[in-house]
Chains A and B, each alone.
Chain A
Amino acid sequence: MTVPALAIFHLTKSFDRPVVQDLDLTIKAGEFYALLGPNGAGKTTILRMVAGLLQPDVGDISIFGIDARRDPIAAKRLVAWVSDEPMVYDRLTPLEYLEFVAGLWQVEPKKAQAKADELIDWLGLRPHANQLCGGFSMGMLQKVALAGALVHDPKLIILDEPLTGLDAGSARTVKDVLLGKVRDGVTVIMTTHILEVAERMAERIGVIKEGRLLAEGTLAELRTRIGRESSLEDIFLDLVAQSGETDAVAA
């Protein structure tokens, strides 16, 4: 049996209120998984715990069979995290940034250089490769951040709202890059509020609300679940509304 890219068991996290509640989730290797949910559903908290940016209160996280809580360094070697706010330094050039990321992930310099050049070209950053990132637009910064995520050849890419603030051209580039990576066998987990993107790109979709998984499956499976042929937007809204009604009845 293949080791899943990500397996989460009983994941729980509270701040001033429960944000993630006893969540189980398994994502297969090479899968494009979209995590959807209304604002404040706990999507970002889940992904930040997987990326090692937050400690869960309870629960286990396994990345390609590695216990991420016991051996975070080994788990992090396989993962790239891309947030909606590009993690880029104003006063480094894209090439210097990629060299820094490659150094952190200990990529062999020749390989990193070749990969950086390839990414710079692929993402259309060549004319700006030796300019400081401080003057870049949001789209360019996000491309630099994405290049940073890809320069160390991660097996699992986690993206939190990666298309926020991007123009159509930049958004298309990011989507193409991600689909290309999935074709190459990389696993991608992405949160997005743009449901058309999830509908077109994701193989499986998970809908969460208040830290709980409401439904999960392919688009066809989700349609079967609500019992009619609908767009993802309708399915999503139905699921969230049903959950609200259930909560009200339970209360």
Chain B
Amino acid sequence: MSAAPASIAWFARHELILGWRDWVAMMTGGRRSRSMGIVIFLAVVVLVLHLMAFGLVGRWASRGVPNDAASLVMLTGTGILFWTIMLSQALEAVTRVYYGRSDLDLVLSSPASSQRLFAVRTGAVALTSILLPGLLASPLINMLALLDGPRWLSAYGVVVAMGAISTAISVLITLGLFRAVGPKQTRLIAQIVAAVVGAGFVIGIQAAAILYYGDMSRFALFQSQAIVDAAPELHSNFWLPAKAAMGDGTALLIMLGIGLTALVLTVALAAPSYGQHATSAAGLTHVRSQRRPARRSFRTMSQRHALRLKEWRLLQRDPWLLSQTLMQILYLLPPALLLWLNFGHDAGAFVVVVPVLIMAAGQLAGGLAWLAISGEDAHDLVVTGPVSPRTVLIAKIEAVLSVIAVVMAPLLLLMAISSPRMALITAFGAMLSAGSATAIQLWFRVVAKRSMFRRRQVASRAATLSEAFASIMWAGMGALMASGSMLAIGPAVVAVLVLGLAKLLSPRRA
């Protein structure tokens, strides 16, 4: 039986079909022949994740997890970690509900109710917020259920409640921002909040664990006696989610009740103004067409320089680049801190700074290279120009690497004042890391719009993973070289192997 047109069920079916096809396309890269490979790959991932989960909770769970303060602290801390990531993702997804255009113009211009569409799309956000962290948490939950009894399966219910609460809070934040700062600023502020929420708690816990316990594990902090002693009494409602996860039926019902009621009430509150806010968001010009100072006359330049100059101008004016890059560098801080504490005794702060800079160079180069090589908004213009494809690629690579050089130069100079050797190691590692990331982006290049930058990581998982692994390995090489270890050759060899594998996996070109 089919649902009545423009009803909630009808919209939900439409969204489900689109979502499913998007997911299949993303996983298979548009080639159905890959389906079996993907299934096998997913099965292996699931197995590995369960083995990892066994390693993580095996000993704890096999003895039987007691309902004591230490267990509640551990569960609550881990739960908050998951929840901040859920909230971060939900906030970004809710922003897209308001700002994403695709078929919104069609629906808003139709006589169908925008409130129903909002309800369905918010529901989809909640579902995504539940599914992804739920999948991530499932190996842990399954292992706990296997080793300590099925009571742990109620943790899935807690994930559902947390997802619903995250979505409700995200809608309220977005709505508040629309009212407080208007549609022009809402998207930017919401994304900054999402990034800070997503990264802040994880980084904070890691940094605290490293500083106090010399261990990067987020769990180290949750196992400390000081935290357990300072925790609320056992009967406190603060432990409701943890108790629900451990199989307390009443706590689970309360959690689900709170989550689902919050979601329904928020949707009811926000739905009437959705059409108005989405329309005001649509009225924005995505790029401010501000008047730029009139420039001097055209310069004599080679084709390569014309291409480089164009890339530099576009990179300089890219609104997303700075926030994306800063986030990547922010995530590098905890491992840097750990390296400093554990291995930095001989080579001092350089053992921290060298790998961080090398990895940052790789990460930055990866993003810039995608924008320059793949994100070409006027692809046809460049291809129809009297310039060989090789010249175009060389110019774009030069543009990227020169930006990295400009960013790194002052840091290297500062470093060289106190230790020329360390500056040399950093420059060498950064060159390899940036070169590897650029080469990977070159091998996996696609024709895309610059606005697709934020989706580049899902476009090719092989490129993303090999770029990250190569950067990590070059950073490891740099750290070991800085500490004077001959073992530096190890990560360097692995990095070369990663590059070789990436080249093998890259699409063949005619």
Contacts and interface: CB of A to CB of B under 8 A. Distances in A.
Interface of A: 51-53, 55, 73-74, 76-77, 79-81, 83, 87-93, 95-96, 99-106, 108-110, 112-113, 116, 128-136, 148
Contacts of B300: 108-109
Contact of B295 (A55, A77, A110, A130): A130
Contacts of A88: 377-378
B314 A73 contact: no
Contact of B303 (A52, A92, A93, A103): A103
A104 B306 contact: yes
19 contacts: A51-B384, A73-B386, A81-B381, A87-B380, A91-B313, A100-B306, A102-B298, A102-B306, A103-B301, A103-B305, A103-B309, A104-B386, A109-B297, A109-B300, A112-B298, A130-B295, A131-B291, A132-B290, A134-B289
Contacts of A96: 295, 310, 313
Interface in B97-128: none
A134 B292 CA distance: 13
Nearest to B392: A104
Contacts of A134: 285-289
Contacts of A76: 384-387
Interface in B371-402: 377-388
A148 B298 contact: no
Given A89-B310, A89-B314, A130-B292, A53 B384 contact: yes
Contact of A87 (B310, B313, B381): B381
Contacts of B301: 103, 109
Given A74-B386, A103-B309, A130 B378 contact: no
Majority secondary structure of chain B interface residues (helix, strand, loop or mixed):
loop
Interface in B328-384: 377-384
Question: Which 8 A-B pairs have CB atoms at the shortest separation, nearest pair first?
Answer: A103-B306, A134-B287, A135-B289, A87-B378, A104-B385, A87-B381, A91-B317, A109-B298
B294 to A, nearest CB: 5
Contact of A91 (B287, B293, B305, B383): B287
A91 B290 CA distance: 10
B318 interface: yes
Nearest to A107: B298
A106 B292 contact: no
Given A52-B384, A76-B385, A91-B318, A131 B289 contact: yes
Nearest to A108: B300
B299 interface: yes
B298 A113 contact: yes
Interface in B54-70: none
Nearest to B310: A100
A130 B343 CA distance: 53
Nearest to B389: A72
B240 interface: no
A110 B303 CA distance: 16
A103 to B, nearest CB: 2
Contact of B384 (A81, A116, A133, A136): A81
Contacts of B285: 134-135
